[in-house]
Structure 1
């Protein structure tokens, strides 16, 4: 066929949101239109229980709608149906990141999205906080190399995450390495290790300290009013001689509900072993020391040679908690 006669098939759905609606129409499912011949715009309402933003996001992702077409659809819905709650741009609706952090690693490049980010993106942590019957979760990690090309040494090494107790939750990519060789092991796992340690701060240490202060466990481990006052005074005094590596001052226990992860980390790794010695009961304090030693061993590269000991200490901690 002569080159002049060849024409690439036009994607008729690319710039025509109306044709997109005819093909896969989400509007009928989430909007109520007036019966009869009435065309009054103020009679068009959302169906009960519908959320047009989330419905549009699911529809766009399910059918791989191009951003330019979705943007045209949003403008149409805002102008014609007066749905002012909708944004004018598809990137705003879907929440497309404005930047992607890709860093050099070894002979290739590394992208890290994080454990906590993935769980929040799937609304898992939000729902988990509402479920009072779940006290722990199991995270399954999978790592393997993928050669996408037969004629190139380039390979991908994704780190995938799956939550065991919720099988309907989709697998999540928390990191991806791309390069001509295998990733350097220590750098490859460093981000996951520190991300996991952050969950120790805002997870385990937060739960323990809130339980001791507010009595969520039992009266034997609950701090008395005198204990809380003493600890608060000591926390304030510790800020005066705070070492330079601790950038945030730690607040008294009356502000515990507003503590940041760095404050829980300071308490776990620096202040807790000293301040809790004469307050917690012997077995409870010993169990806390298991957590302190294990977390310290995992937090500093000089102590990673004791990783097997840290594993045993964590097992003891969770067994006795």
Structure 2
């Protein structure tokens, strides 16, 4: 590895970190006076690298939640800079390589360069440093391959990383997610991960298994077989972890409509008998639509297992073998796909790109876009994204549609939509504000009636043929809230964040399944060796730039952000107006 390439990987870290002040820079230079010519430069780099890796953090803004900071300090903890510097260089290198997804050959070359300039004993190969698995045993699942991490291992990983939270919990309720993820825009390469989380305040996702192929698995039962075996065993026997016994229950399987029809072996969302909650039969006029609103006959677990509606089923699902899994109620409707990427997106598309009967004038579309952009500077950092123009609507993400539903929509649409369309949207907004709140659970009947009124007026305003599978299922989501709690308890948002980390773990097109398995195993190995801090509040982004109040210790630690359970306070260069 040339000096130039070495500097490239080093500068990736340096640019992301807060710049050191001039005094610190002079100290680093003086510390390495003994080095001359090229060796002098390498000594300086290695010393700086040892000083910076894992101490200062990178501020990230993305669709997904950023990874935990390398060093996070609890407000009550007495942690000095010398303590941070006492962390072994080997541990800092592991964090650095994983955080920035450094290729193994670059990490190996860095290790070899550091051998002569640091006192600590370091391995010469990145695979030894990161404990990379040498062999990945894959199972053939047509038309691709599958790797099984194990349900018990996934649960134990979550328990180990959050030991304090689970001290007083004896029953683990598991949410499961199955969804497809394309790996490339230029090919049909795709993965289908099986993900889990444990129901509760701690949002931590682990991977049970992973399929890769150039088409989805042909047989869902073959794909889910190992997961089903693990689920049956753990449901009957429970598991031992952290010195105590836990009971295990599969609480919910959360999927979008195509994935749900795949794992349950039922008709897809374009079928006549596609509703997974009731016996409504759709009508077809250019596209499938569902007319009825009242007097819907609900499906039951017993009827599903008896296959009494033959047109609804396409086969037998192996998931029926999991004890206490209700094949109707254990498959709640996910509002990320149903409402954010479904209903809200549909309304905006009808307004912007619909038929002459549904769309609004271009001048109003422009005015709405400008209003969204005007709000951008007033959006706090708790939101993953700032509002964008409707000209970018086809590239909007789920969080942006959620922002319109809960926050910006009622403000923006009031001036630009007709009263009847604005009232229609407000019904959706108020209903889901209720469904997302534990505090307002007593208003569930009102939310149910609001959604019925929304569907009825939607048919009148936008046409009955636009009453798609998603629109119809709004009539059922309140029932899922009664069983599972607020909609965020069974949404796919936390799993969607994890899917993005899978994409980031790919370094080349060759052998994607093996790459993902190795990168994920490396992270698990690292996390199991240190317990994640759940103490709040957390101080982040240490700096040394002041200003300090009078009589303050000049050596006191300074930070740029403090995170509480549901919000963050952060130093910025400008005053942000209240939203």
TM-score by length of 2: 0.31
Aligned to 1:12: none
RMSD: 4.2
Once residues 115 and 228 of structure 1 are traced to their aligned partners in structure 2, the CA distance between those partners, rounded to angstroms, is 33
* Residue 141 (structure 2) aligned to one of 91, 101, 109: 91
Confirm or deny: 8 A CA contact 1:112 1:174 kept in the other structure. Answer: no
Shift of 1:238: 2.1
1:270 aligns with 2:407: yes
Is 1:309 the equivalent of 2:446? yes
Tell me the residue number matched to 2:332.
Answer: 192
Q: What do residues 27-73 of structure 1 show as CA deviations (whole Å, max 9, x unaligned)? A: xxxxxxxxxxxxxxxxxxxxxxxxxxxxxxxxxxxxxxxxxxxxxxx
1:1-321 correspondence to structure 2 within 5 Å: 90-91=140-141, 93=143, 96=146, 98-99=148-149, 104-105=172-173, 107-110=247-250, 112-116=252-256, 117-119=259-261, 124-125=268-269, 132-136=286-290, 142-143=300-301, 167-170=312-315, 192=332, 195-196=334-335, 198-216=337-355, 218=357, 221-321=358-458
Which residue in the other structure is 2:90 paired with?
A: none
**Runs (5+) with no aligned partner, structure 2:** 1-137, 156-171, 174-245, 273-283, 459-579
The higher relative CO (CA closer than 8 Å, separation ≥ 6) is in 2
- Find the aligned partners of 2:252 and 2:323 in 1 and give their Cα distance: 12
The answer to whether the 8 A contact 1:239-1:250 is kept is yes
Go from structure 1 to structure 2 and tell me whether the alpha carbon gap of 1:119 and 1:229 turns closer, same or farther (over 3 Å shift). same
User: Aligned partners of 2:356, 2:321: CA distance in 1, in Å?
Assistant: 40
Q: Check the 8 A contact 2:261/2:268 in 1, yes or no.
A: yes
**Would you say the 8 A contact 1:236–1:250 is kept in 2?**
yes
Partner of 1:153: none
Instruction: Report the Cα distance in structure 2 between the residues aligned to 1:99 and 1:245, rounded to whole angstroms.
Output: 33
CA contact (8 A) 2:430 2:447 kept: yes
Tell me the SS of whatever aligns to 1:192: coil
Which structure carries more helix by proportion? 1
Q: 1:301 & 1:165 partners in 2: Cα distance?
A: 38
Counterpart secondary structure, 1:110: strand
Q: Deviations over 1:57-101 (max 9, x none)?
A: xxxxxxxxxxxxxxxxxxxxxxxxxxxxxxx96236256464566
- Gap change, CA 1:190 and 1:124, over 3 Å in 2: closer
C-alpha distance 168-119 of structure 1, shift in aligned 2 (>3 A): closer
